[in-house]
Structure formats: structure tokens, C-alpha cells
Structure 1
Amino acid sequence: MIRARALQATFAALATALLPATIAVAAPAPTPAPIDYAALGDSYSSGTGIGEYRPDSGDCRRSDSAYPALWAGSHTVGTFSFKACSGATTQDVRSGQLNVLNDRTGLVTLTAGGNDVGFSDILRSCVFPASDASCDAAVNAGINYANRTLPGRLDGLYQDIKAKAPKAKVVVLGYPRLFERDVCPFSFSLHKRDSLNRGADELDRVIAARAQSAGFTFANPTSRFAGHGICGRDPWINQLNVADPVESYHPDGDGHARGYLPTLNSATGRAGDHVGG
């Protein structure tokens, strides 16, 4: 009888000791503080290619289905400043988009550099009836610019962002490869597709190096888009659109929702908690 009472007393003591830990485990996680988010950059951030745009965005072609708007809609956001604009160069971002940044900004995302190297001109140089050689020349000129001139332009842009938003986490996103290597008789030759993909890889390499040098996070979407380029079975990138050429060679809604958004989520964390500095 004495032994039974001793056991009861021991169990009661253990239960009392474990109770606070049990309560602590069961307590709900705190709600993250709202974050001020600024989305900067060019057409790959504005959502050009999706086809439906904010009425007030004009030629910037900002879409509520673009990855910045999707991220803002699925996270705890205090303010969302959507400034990305179709056609923007690094200089355009510096001169026209940074006014939304301040010391309360917690997250900045951007794509920039593609227009500096001549994205549209390179593609025009590769469209039929251009030869493989002329396409290679255009791609190589873009790569040369990316290696010689673009680093200084990116450094200047990144320095400005750091100065205006010193507490922000900055995620610089790259560009996907545009093409798959599947049989594709009505598109670019395989040689041109390989050349253009090589240019995209080189551009991403340069941007990644400068972003990391600035202390920013580089998020590469290439693996997310693998198998979903033009000529693939399930493309997330638009073919040539003769009726609206600006839409051409840009990610569609799936490209943003299934390609860019998961890429950004991986860089900010699943819930996007505490992404600010």
C-alpha cells in the first residue's frame, strides 16, 4: 500500500513538471509582424506576358497575377509598393522606382539587367530568317556587355537600394532559360535556342555575383522552369506574339505562380516570417 502511494506521488510530480512544457508546445505560433514590401524591376517582375494588367499601370504592364502580387497576397504584408515596369533598365529602376524605399522597408525584390544587355534586340536578331551565325553574334555581344558594363550598373543600383532601405532583405531574382531542346519545327533552330539559353545562364551568373557581393540574396528560377520553356510540353513562357510583340518571350501566369513565386518563397522562407533585417 505504501509502495502504491509512493508511485502515485511520483506520477503526480512528473505530471506537474511536464505540464508547463506541454502548454508551451501547444501554444500557437505568434503572428508575424506585417512587412513593408517593395517590388522593383523590369517586365519579368511586372508580369508582362500574363495578359491582364492593372488599369493604372499603363505601359508598365503590372499584373495582379505577377509573382510580387502573389507573394504579397499570401503573406503578412503591411504595405505593398509595386513599381516594377516593363522595359526598365537598371538606370530606370534607380531613377524612377526607388522613391518607395525607406528605413521601414522590410523586403525588396527585383529583376534587372535583361534590358541593359539588349534582351529584345537579341531576340529580334535570332528570329527567322536570321542565320545561326547572326544570332550567335547578338548573343555574344550581350554576354560581352554583361561582363564588361553591367556589373558597374548593378553595383550602383544595389548601393542605392541599400542606402534607401538599410533594414530590408533584398532578393534579386534571375531569368529563366527561354527554350527547351524538344523537336520544335515552328520556332528557333536548336542551335539558336542553345545560344540564347547560354546567354541567359551567363546573365544570371553576372547578376548573382554582384548581388552576393552586395550582401543580397540571389534567387535563380532556372530549375523551377526546367521543362517549361518554349518548345516544351507544358510551356510557361510565351512564344512570339505578332499581335502584341511585347508579350513575347515572357512568363505567363503559370510561369509566375509555379515558377517565380516558389523561387521567391524559397528565398524568403516558407511563411516569409522575419524577412526584414
Structure 2
Amino acid sequence: MSLPRTACAAVLALALASVAVPASAAPAAAVSEVNYVALGDSYASGTGAGSYSDVACTRSRNAYPALWADANDPASFAFAACGGAKIPDVLSSQVGELGEETTLVSLSIGGNDSGFASTMLSCQYSTQSACERALKTAGEYVVNELPGELDGLYATVRARAPRAEVVIIGYPHLYKEGGLCLGGLSSAKRSAINDGSDLLNETIADRARAAGFAFADGRPAFAGHEICTGDAWISSTNVHPTAEGHASAYLPAFASAVSGS
């Protein structure tokens, strides 16, 4: 018995509807857009890492923010970190890159505020006692003033980027402790500088946690590759991470701190 023409059409429509849609015709899966802003000082901008996209701020294509962006292809990337920056500089010249749409922020700051450059000059070219005095002065600032300044900055970052995941990046130990360091600092100076780095990192990590931000510790990331080791990832000339230091230490430390990594 033959079916009426209208019934045949209905059966054909049902049959076509049951055919799987080719993969090429299926809508693409939704991908979370990442809008990444990198803030901070020379340890974030990549001073000493070469291949600069901005010489004035020593923004390096080899710095961990640029490397992360290259590897992850975010929807947008604003590289605002600048060599020599202090907290007031971040507030006046960098946080403007943040917005409601920002989803990821990295921030390295506090070293210059605590007198990093002058302290290193004292330790490199003056006596042990001069080095220790400079570190004591820096330590007093780190304990008494830096926490409040970080709190203010972190509050501003959160207010400007309310949806963002924020990762605060710490500083590495600069020198190998113990043993000889031919042409370098004495063991006592190296230990004193690393102690100062510990105090700075502990303060930054504490305020980051209080703000609800993640903290990526640079010390384990660079362990075994400090100045005076056989495979240093920190330059003894400018006391900053090399391109290798950014690629092999800072980049994985940052990446592992980002949710979902």
C-alpha cells in the first residue's frame, strides 16, 4: 500500500533530521576569553633579557609576560610593566590598562620601593658593614611601610579589575649561598642579601594573600641557578633574570599559579 504524498514528505523530513550534522558544520565550542594585563617593575618588564619592544621601559619579548602571551594567545594582552617602576608609578602609569573586561593580571613590585638599586650598590662596592646597614634600612621600610602601600595598590587593582585573577610574582634569591664566588661577593654579603629577599618576599606574599591574590614564589623557581652557580639564570652584571631565567623559572612559576594551568 502506498502512502499519501504528504505522509511521504513527513517521513523524508524525519529521516533527514536524523542524519548527524558533519563536524565542520557544528558550532565551535565556546572558548573563555582571556584579557591579560602585565604590571610591575624591571623583573616583570624583562630588563636584562634582551630583544626589547620598548627600550625606555626595557620591555623584553623574552620576559615571562610576553612568553605567556605568545604561548596562550589571549584575546588581549597589555604589557604595561616598566623597568624602574615603584608602586606610585604603577598607580599613575600602569593600572589604567585594567578594566571590567580584564580577566588575568600579573604584578611584580616592591623591590625598587625598598631601595633595591642603592642597596645592591652598597653591597657590591662597599664594606660588609655598609652592606648590612643598607639592608637594615631597606628591611625597616619593608616591615613598616611596604605592607600599607601594597594594600593600597592591591585594592586599586581589584577595584579596576573586579573579575580578574591576580597573580603576584615574587623575587628570587640573587646569589648562591656558601662556597666561593670568584670575582663576586663574599659569602657573608650573599647570605645577607638573600635574607633581605626573604623578608621582602614574605611581606609581599602576606599582603597578596590578604587581598585574595595568588603568589608565585621566585625563590624555588630559580633555585640552583642564582649568581655564582655554574648555570646562573640571573646576570651578575645587572642582577636581573636573563632570558633563560624568564623562560625556565618565571614563566613556569607564573603559569602554574594561573587557575586551570
Range class of TM-score, shorter chain: 0.7 to 0.9
Question: Following the alignment from structure 1 to structure 2, what is the Cα–Cα distance between the partners of residues 77 and 98?
Answer: 19
Equivalent residue letter for 2:61: D
Number of aligned pairs? 233
Task: Give 1:170's aligned amino acid.
Answer: V
Structure 2: state its 5+ residue gaps.
1-27
Quick check: 1:136 aligned with 2:132?
yes
Q: Name the structure 2 match of 1:252.
A: 242
1:33 aligns with 2:26: no
1:196-275 alignment runs, 5 A limit: 196-240=193-237, 248-269=238-259, 271=261
Shift of 1:45: 0.2
Instruction: Quote the RMSD (CA, aligned, Å).
Output: 1.4
Is contact 2:50-2:62 (8 Å) kept? no
Give 2:115's aligned residue: 118
Residues 31-68 of structure 1: per-residue CA shift (max 9 Å, x gap): 642200000000000000112201xx232000111000
Distance in 2 separating the partners of 1:31 and 1:43: 36
Distance 1:188 1:270 in 2: 41
Q: What corresponds to 2:71 in structure 1?
A: 74
1:40 alignment partner AA: L
- Cα distance in 2 between the residues matched to 1:72 and 1:171: 15
Q: In structure 2, how many angstroms separate the alpha carbons of the residues matched to 1:191 and 1:270?
A: 41
Question: Partners in 2 of 1:72 and 1:124 — Cα distance?
Answer: 34
CA displacement at 1:227 relative to structure 2? 0.7
Corresponding residue SS for 1:239: coil
Partner of 1:52: 51
Give me the whole-angstrom Cα distance separating, in 1, the residues matched to 2:29 and 2:189.
52
User: Aligned pair 1:172/2:168, yes or no?
Assistant: yes
Unaligned runs of 5+ in 1: 1-28, 241-247, 272-277
- Between the aligned partners of 1:73 and 1:33, the Cα distance in structure 2 is 17
Larger radius of gyration, structure 1 or 2? 2
Q: What's the CA shift string for 1:77-124, capped at 9, x where partnerless?
A: 000000000000011001100111111100000100000000000000
CA distance in 1, matches of 2:112, 2:31: 36
* Matched residue, 2:25: none
Q: Which residue of 2 aligns with 1:25?
A: none
Amino acid at match of 2:138: G
Query: What is the alpha-carbon distance in structure 2 between the residues aligned to residue 96 and residue 157 of structure 1?
Result: 13
Query: In structure 2, how many angstroms separate the alpha carbons of the residues matched to 1:31 and 1:119?
Result: 45
Q: Match for residue 83 of structure 1?
A: 80
For residues 179 and 270 of structure 1, what CA distance do their matches in structure 2 show? 32
Match of 1:152 among 148, 152, 158: 148
Return the alpha-carbon distance in structure 2 between the equivalents of residues 211 and 269 of structure 1: 16
Deviation at 1:30, TM superposition (A): 5.3
Q: Which runs of 4+ in 1 moved over 2 A?
A: 29-32
Tell me the distance in 2 between the aligned counterparts of 1:225 and 1:31: 37
Please give the alpha-carbon distance, in whole angstroms, between the structure 2 residues aligned to 1:208 and 1:113.
Answer: 11
Secondary structure of 1:125's counterpart equals: helix
Q: Distance in 2 between matches of 1:165 and 1:263?
A: 22
After TM superposition, the score normalised by the length of structure 1 is 0.82
> 1:74 is aligned with what amino acid?
A
Aligned partner of residue 39 in structure 1, secondary structure: strand
Indicate which of 93, 96, 105 corresponds to 2:93: 96
Q: Distance between the aligned counterparts of 2:227 and 2:138, measured in 1?
A: 21
Contact 1:34 1:76 in 2 (8 A): no
Counterpart of 1:43, as a letter, is S
Deviations 1:106-155 (CA, angstroms, capped at 9, x unpaired): 00001000000000000001113x11111011111111100001111111
Q: Percent identity?
A: 45
Question: Which residue of 181, 191, 195 corresponds with 2:192?
Answer: 195
CA shift at 1:270, angstroms?
5.8
d(CA) in 1 for partners of 2:29, 2:191: 48
Helix, strand or coil at the partner of 1:172: strand
Please state if 1:63 is matched with 2:60.
Answer: yes
Tell me the TM-score normalised to structure 2 length: 0.87
